[in-house]
């Protein structure tokens, strides 16, 4: 039976009380996208403390491929918690860490010998991938892309390419990071995606003449699809050509699959769409259903280049997170969630394209697998970004009982990171409600109509 949308104003009274307490003790910078306080999650649904039900298309920013509170994951965490919660793997090792690394190594692309090291957050894994690349190549420099997001710690933040809100006032950043454009077909001055990709690769080659000598570059760090940057999918030839250029100069290719990974794009890893084998693969988010866990997986000789004790951390590869990740892998297989990502994505693309045909402010609809987004513009000819329309659609969707998330270098993209297990009825319900939200925003506002 379809559920009614949220009728009373948000936040509800119980949420409002908690949010007011939060305002007193938590900094403004730790802002929330949705002013509703979570009470319980189940699959693709979140209930707030006022009893409102929301279809959660944010999935904890893409951490919940298997959904909220999957019974198998919950059981694995509970059983591990009852055994032990922490030793520090580097002090007293444990089997779940090893079992998880065995699985990750087997699942990562490439037949060469591989190893894996575990960390807590995505940013921490990016930091460690860079440390490994520098130590292995004995080179200092890094190349990253415009529109990239790699995290918020200093090296990760330096690699990140979005000033608002991430970099404002936080400089100076880490030296020896060079920036080149990422192919963004919708906003490219070139007529075809192929020309856009060729231009970006040419800019990379030029960077070797203009900015940094290639034999001083340790690694190129790249997302196979821009996540925070607005779900920008590069033309198919871009990543293979990039990998060739790296190989020609002895530069390592670090692929950040923190957002794209673990089935989100309809393959276990997004690089599989492009036939690329990274030297180092950085993963996080969905691998442990929201428990803090990330990993660097890659060529054994690179992972082994640092002497004993050179990488690590108190909590890295926490046993609860490892147990959750092993359960996630089982669920992914049993529920065929990688295949399901394609099905989810097709539904979303169809629904968003239908909306695009009706509303001129939907400038672009794009995606890979279940990573689907729409980019909103003031005018489809000028493509002037319209972040205020994103705010309004997200607001209206929330009133309809659907939680959405913003992205994009101009904040004018609505992205979907829905749990891949979402039942068909809920997916259809979500799309119907998003359509209603778009229709409401598409209608002229009373003051606009009056003018």
Which residues of this chain interact with ligand PLP, rule CB under 6 A? 61, 121-123, 126, 149-151, 223, 227-228, 256, 258-259, 284
What is the 3-class SS of the chain, one letter each residue? CCCCCCCCCCCCHHHHHHHHHHHHHCCCCCCCCCCCCEEEEEECEEEECCCCEEEECCHHHHCCCCCECCHHHHHHHHHHHHHCCCCCCCCCCCHHHHHHHHHHHHHCCCCCCEEEEEECCHHHHHHHHHHHHHHHHCCCEEEEECCCCCCCCHHHHHHCCCHHHHHCCCCCCCCCEEEECCCCHHHCCCCCHHHHHHHHHHHHHHHHHHCCCHHHEEEEEECCCECCCCCECCCCCHHHHHHHHHHHHCCEEEEECCCCCCCCCCCCCCHHHHCCCCCEEEECHHHHCCCCCEEEEEEHHHHCCCCCCCCCCCCCCCHHHHHHHHHHHHHHHHCCHHHHHHHHHHHHHHHHHHHHHHCCCEEEEEEECCEEEEEEECCCCCCCECHHHHHHHHHHHHHCCEECEEECCCCCEEEECCCCCCCHHHHHHHHHHHHHHHHHHHCCCHHHHHC
Is 63 or 376 the residue whose CB approaches ligand PLP more closely?
Answer: 63
Dihedral through CA 213, CA 233, CA 361, CA 408, nearest 10? -50
Query: Annotated catalytic residue: which of 54, 119, 149, 262?
Result: 149
Residue number of the CB closest to ligand PLP reads 122
User: What Å distances lie between residue 292 and 204, 206, 218, 354, 451, CA to CA?
Assistant: 34, 39, 28, 37, 51
The minimum distance between CB 45 and ligand PLP, in angstroms, equals 23
CB nearer ligand PLP, residue 138 or residue 168? 168
285 catalytic, yes or no?
yes
- At its nearest, how many Å lie between ligand PLP and the CB of residue 232? 12
C-beta of 223 vs 364, nearer to ligand PLP: 223
CB nearer ligand PLP, residue 52 or residue 121: 121
State the nearest-atom distance from the C-beta of 148 to ligand PLP, in Å: 8
CB of 188 to ligand PLP, least distance (A): 21
Residue 253's CB: how many other CB atoms inside 10 A?
Answer: 24
CB of 10 to ligand PLP, least distance (A): 25
Q: Are 372 and 349 in contact (CB under 8 A)?
A: yes
CB of 367 within 8 A of CB of 361? no
Min dist CB 381 to ligand PLP, Å, is 31
| Dist. CA 420–CA 261, nearest whole Å | 12
**Residue that has been written with the tokens 């330096």 in this structure:** 158
Query: What's the CA gap between 324 and 285, in Å, rounded?
Result: 12
Active-site entry in 119, 231, 238, 256 = 256
Closest to ligand PLP by CB, 10 vs 148, is 148
149 is catalytic: yes
CB of 333 to ligand PLP, least distance (A): 24
Between residues 238 and 361, which has the closer beta carbon with respect to ligand PLP? 238
119 is annotated as an active-site residue: no
Smallest gap, in angstroms, from Cβ of residue 449 to ligand PLP? 39
Nearer to ligand PLP, 12 or 227 (CB): 227
Q: Which is nearer to ligand PLP, 223 or 277 (CB)?
A: 223
Which residues are marked as active site? Answer: 149, 256, 285
């Amino acid at each position: 039976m379809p559920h009614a949308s949220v009728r009373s104003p948000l936040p509800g009274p119980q949420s409002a009380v908690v949010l007011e307490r939060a305002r007193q003790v938590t900094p403004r910078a730790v802002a929330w996208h949705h002013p509703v306080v979570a009470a319980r999650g189940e699959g693709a649904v979140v209930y707030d403390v006022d009893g409102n039900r929301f279809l959660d298309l944010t999935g904890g920013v893409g951490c919940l491929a298997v959904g909220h509170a999957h019974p198998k994951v919950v059981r694995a965490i509970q059983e591990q918690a009852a055994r032990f919660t922490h030793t520090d793997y580097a002090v007293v090792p444990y089997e779940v860490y090893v079992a998880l690394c065995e699985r990750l190594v087997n699942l990562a692309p490439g037949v060469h010998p591989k190893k894996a090291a575990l960390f807590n957050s995505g940013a921490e894994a990016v930091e460690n991938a860079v440390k490994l690349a520098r130590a292995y190549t004995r080179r200092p420099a890094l190349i990253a892309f415009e529109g990239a997001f790699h995290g918020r710690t200093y090296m990760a933040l330096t690699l990140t390419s979005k000033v608002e809100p991430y970099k404002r006032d936080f400089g100076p950043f880490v030296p020896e990071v060079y920036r080149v454009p990422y192919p963004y077909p919708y906003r490219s001055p070139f007529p075809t995606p192929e020309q856009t990709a060729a231009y970006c690769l040419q800019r990379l080659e030029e960077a070797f003449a203009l900015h940094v000598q290639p034999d001083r570059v340790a690694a190129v760090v790249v997302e196979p699809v821009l996540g925070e940057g607005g779900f920008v999918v590069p033309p198919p030839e871009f990543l293979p050509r990039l990998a060739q250029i790296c190989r020609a100069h002895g530069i390592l290719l670090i692929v950040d699959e923190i957002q794209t990974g673990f089935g989100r794009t309809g393959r276990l890893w997004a690089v599989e769409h492009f036939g690329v084998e990274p030297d180092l693969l950085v993963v996080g988010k969905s691998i442990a259903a929201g428990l803090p866990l990330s990993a660097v997986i890659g060529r054994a000789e690179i992972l082994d280049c640092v002497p004993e004790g050179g990488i690590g951390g108190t909590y890295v590869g926490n046993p609860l997170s490892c147990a959750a990740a092993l359960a996630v892998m089982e669920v992914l297989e049993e529920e065929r969630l990688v295949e399901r990502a394609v099905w989810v994505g097709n539904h979303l693309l169809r629904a968003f394209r239908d909306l695009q045909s009706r509303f001129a402010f939907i400038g672009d609809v794009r995606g890979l697998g279940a990573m689907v987004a729409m980019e909103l513009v003031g005018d489809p000819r000028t493509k002037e970004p319209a972040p205020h329309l994103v705010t309004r659609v997200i607001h209206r969707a929330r009133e309809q009982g659907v939680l959405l998330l913003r992205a994009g270098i101009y904040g004018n993209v609505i992205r979907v990171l829905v749990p891949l297990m979402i039942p068909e009825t809920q997916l259809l319900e979500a799309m119907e409600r998003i359509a209603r939200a778009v229709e409401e925003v598409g209608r002229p506002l009373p003051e606009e109509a009056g003018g």
